[in-house]
A and B are shown apart, each in its own frame.
Chain A
């Protein structure tokens, strides 16, 4: 099974920055309410940064970090604490979706409009190549195409 689990720097930095400024505002508020002044020192900022990094890492691992493993029979995707395993033959159609800002995902459709989305850009996979590979996997074990269920997403 091939496995990919790249670090999503954007999401990690976003989480750390959000926590850093959140903790800073919380500290300032507590200071002001208790002492009527805001105490700031570079040691405090470094401690805040270390705390935000540690908490941010935990939050990132629990919510954003994505691990994707696959072979020709099936795949397993884990995002944060939630995990899903499926077989390619459970799906009948594959599409490539542009999520905006150059980010792509591959959608696997079951019969009807029910689909699962694999965030290929976040996983550092080539979106178009992976789409063709997924099509081969699905086609290799296809039950038969669903002719009438194509519907645009609005």
Chain B
């Protein structure tokens, strides 16, 4: 599977599939420069879905209302761009008062063991990171709750 094809599936799943159980992802940008990083995809959403009549009322009463986002970039097996992308995401989160975000890094091959260990050790509650190896279809996710959640959502290989 190619990166473009994978990102299309992930985008579709976040906007119209399983991602909607987490947040209402409504808007997707491609090839978006943010800070020093050029993200392949940025999907923006909100934890409160719009709904209609009863579901809208339920969402208004029961669900929190804050923006969330999923950032994705590719071709970085050694995570050389991780630090600059995390900085860009942190600045964006602060500006938009976004409690958490996801970062998906896609590669058509294995990530270096150091990169995998780095992500596995990450327990940040503000950003969930998932490394997606399209060749072996393996996913390495950070160990926080949102990281593990992203790890499950990122399995979109078929």
Q: Do A and B come from one complex?
A: yes
Cα of A150 to Cα of B96 in the assembled complex, Å: 10
Cα of A145 to Cα of B28 in the assembled complex, Å: 16
- Closest Cβ of chain A: how far from B138's Cβ, in Å? 26
Q: Which of A100, A102, A151, A152 contacts B50 (CB 8 A)?
A: A100
Q: Which of B30, B31, B34, B69 contacts A152 (CB 8 A)?
A: B69
Determine the chain B residues whose CB is within 8 A of the CB of A18 once the complex forms: none
From 101 to 140 in chain B, residues with beta carbon under 8 angstroms from any chain A beta carbon are none
Total A residues in contact with B, Cβ cutoff 8 Å: 20
From 129 to 154 in chain A, residues with beta carbon under 8 angstroms from any chain B beta carbon are 131-132, 135, 145, 147, 150-154
B32: interface (CB < 8 Å): yes
Residue of B whose beta carbon sits closest to that of A99: B26
B8: interface (CB < 8 Å): yes
Residue contact B29 to A97, C-beta cutoff 8 Å: no
Range for the number of chain B residues in contact with chain A: 20 to 34
- Closest Cβ of chain B: how far from A101's Cβ, in Å? 9
A98: interface (CB < 8 Å): yes
A23: interface (CB < 8 Å): no
A93: interface (CB < 8 Å): yes
Q: How many pairs of A and B residues are in contact by the CB < 8 Å rule?
A: 53
Cα of A145 to Cα of B8 in the assembled complex, Å: 23
B16: interface (CB < 8 Å): yes
B44-55: CB near A (< 8 Å → 1, else 0) gives 111000100000
- Closest Cβ of chain B: how far from A68's Cβ, in Å? 20
- Closest Cβ of chain A: how far from B19's Cβ, in Å? 10
Residue contact A150 to B29, C-beta cutoff 8 Å: yes
From 1 to 58 in chain B, residues with beta carbon under 8 angstroms from any chain A beta carbon are 8, 11, 15-16, 25-35, 42, 44-46, 50
**In the complex with contacts A95-B27, A154-B46, A128-B67 CB distance below 8 A:** no
B145: interface (CB < 8 Å): no
- Closest Cβ of chain B: how far from A91's Cβ, in Å? 13
Q: Which secondary structure dominates chain A's binding surface?
A: mixed
Cα of A71 to Cα of B28 in the assembled complex, Å: 23
- Closest Cβ of chain B: how far from A88's Cβ, in Å? 16
Residue contact A96 to B28, C-beta cutoff 8 Å: yes
Q: Which of B8, B16, B32, B65 contacts A150 (CB 8 A)?
A: B32
Determine the chain A residues whose CB is within 8 A of the CB of B27 once the complex forms: 95-98, 107, 152-153
Determine the chain A residues whose CB is within 8 A of the CB of B96 once the complex forms: 151-152
With A93-B29, A94-B30, A152-B45 already in contact, 19 other A-B pairs whose C-beta atoms are closer than 8 Å: A93-B32, A95-B28, A96-B27, A97-B28, A98-B25, A100-B50, A135-B30, A135-B31, A145-B32, A145-B33, A147-B33, A147-B35, A150-B42, A151-B96, A152-B27, A152-B44, A152-B69, A152-B96, A153-B44
